[in-house]
C-alpha cells in the first residue's frame, strides 16, 4: 500500500508551465523595458540640463544686453552733465565790457532765471553824483552800507535829508559830496564797545550793469575797508544770484553824458567856480 501511495504522489506532481526559452525571453523583455526606461530617464535629465543651460545662456545674454544699456545710459548722463557744465560756465563767464564807441551797443547783462548774475565785486553807478564806484557783494551782510564822512542832517521840504561825502577808495584824494533823503535811522551795535550807534539810512538810485533800482544804504565809516560800498542780502534778494568765484560780471555802467557829474571836493577847493559852472 505504501508503495502504491508513493507512486500515486509522484505521478500527481505538477510539471513546470514555463520553459527556459520563455523565461529567457521574459527576462530579455524586462531588461529591454528597464533599459528603455533608464534611457528615457537619462534623456529627461539631459533635456532638463540642456534647458537649464539654455536658460543660463539666455540670462547671460540678457545681462550683457542690460550692461550695454546701462553703459549707454551712463554715457548719455555723462554727456548731459558735460553739456550742463558747459552751459553753466558760459552763463558764469564774465560779461565783456562794451567798447567805448558809438557804433557798438552796450553789453547785455548776464542773467540766470531772470536774475542778475553778480560776482563778489561789481561796479555801481550812483545817480546823485553820476559817478561809478567799486562795490563789494556780500550775502553774509543783511543791509547795504556806504562809506560816508562829514555827515550832516538837514531838512528839505519837510523831509529829512543827509549830506555827506564819499571817498572812492582808501588813500584817494578825491571825495564826492552827496545829498540824499533819509529813509530811516538804524541802530548799529559797535563791536568794540557793544554800544548802539544811530546811523542814517539813505535811499539812493543806483545801477548795476543795465539794471537801475532804488536801494537803502546805511551811512557808516568803511574807510578801513577795501571797497566804499557794500551790497547786502536785502538788496540782492529776488533780483540777483552771486557767483563768488567771479568779479565784475556785469558791464561797468556808463556815466550819463546828458547829466552833470559831481566834481571832486579837492577840485572844488582848487577851483571854487567849478561848481558854479557845472
pLDDT interval class at 98 (50, 70, 90): very low
Phi, psi dihedral angles at 179 (to 5 degrees) = -125, 130
| Neighbour count for residue 184 (Cβ, 10 Å) | 12
- The fraction of the chain above a pLDDT of 70, given in percent, is 78
What average pLDDT does the chain have?
82
pTM of the model: 0.55
**Would you say 133 and 208 are in contact if contact means Cβ atoms under 8 Å apart?**
no
**Distance between CA atoms of residues 132 and 140, nearest Å:** 24
Give the model's pLDDT for residue 174. 77
- The fraction of the chain above a pLDDT of 90, given in percent, is 41
| Neighbour count for residue 120 (Cβ, 10 Å) | 16
Q: Find where cell 526606461 sits.
A: 37
Q: What is the pLDDT of residues 30-87, one digit of tens each?
A: 989 999 999 899 999 998 888 888 888 888 888 889 888 988 888 888 888 888 877 7
Q: What is the pLDDT of residues 116-133, one digit of tens each?
A: 999 999 999 999 999 999
Q: How far is CA 170 from CA 140, 175, 203, 264, in A?
A: 23, 11, 24, 15
**CB burial class (10 A; 0-12, 13-18, 19+) of residue 132?**
middle
Give the model's pLDDT for residue 278. 38
Amino acid at each position: 500500500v505504501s508503495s502504491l501511495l508513493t507512486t500515486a504522489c509522484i505521478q500527481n506532481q505538477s510539471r513546470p508551465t514555463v520553459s527556459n526559452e520563455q523565461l529567457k525571453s521574459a527576462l530579455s523583455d524586462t531588461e529591454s523595458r528597464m533599459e528603455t526606461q533608464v534611457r528615457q530617464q537619462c534623456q529627461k535629465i539631459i533635456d532638463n540640463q540642456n534647458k537649464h543651460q539654455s536658460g543660463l545662456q539666455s540670462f547671460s545674454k540678457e545681462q550683457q544686453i542690460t550692461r550695454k544699456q546701462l553703459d549707454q545710459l551712463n554715457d548719455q548722463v555723462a554727456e548731459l552733465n558735460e553739456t550742463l557744465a558747459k552751459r553753466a560756465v558760459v552763463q558764469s563767464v564774465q560779461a565783456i565790457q562794451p567798447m567805448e564807441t558809438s557804433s557798438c551797443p552796450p553789453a547785455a547783462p548776464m542773467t540766470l532765471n531772470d536774475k542778475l548774475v553778480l560776482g563778489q565785486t561789481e561796479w555801481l553807478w550812483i545817480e546823485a553824483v553820476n559817478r561809478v564806484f567799486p562795490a563789494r557783494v556780500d550775502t553774509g551782510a543783511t543791509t547795504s552800507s556806504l562809506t560816508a564822512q562829514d555827515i550832516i542832517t538837514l531838512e528839505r521840504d519837510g523831509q529829512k535829508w543827509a549830506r555827506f561825502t564819499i571817498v572812492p577808495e582808501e588813500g584817494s584824494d578825491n571825495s564826492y559830496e552827496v545829498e540824499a533823503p533819509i529813509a530811516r535811522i538804524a541802530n548799529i551795535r559797535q563791536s568794540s564797545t557793544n554800544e548802539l550807534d544811530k546811523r542814517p539810512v539813505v535811499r539812493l538810485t543806483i545801477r548795476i550793469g543795465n539794471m537801475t533800482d532804488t536801494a537803502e544804504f546805511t551811512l557808516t565809516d568803511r574807510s578801513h575797508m577795501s571797497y566804499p560800498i557794500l551790497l547786502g542780502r536785502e538788496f540782492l534778494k529776488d533780483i540777483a544770484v552771486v557767483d563768488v568765484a567771479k568779479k565784475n560780471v556785469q558791464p561797468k555802467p556808463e556815466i550819463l553824458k546828458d547829466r552833470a557829474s559831481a566834481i571832486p571836493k579837492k577840485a572844488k577847493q582848487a577851483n571854487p567856480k567849478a561848481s558854479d559852472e557845472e
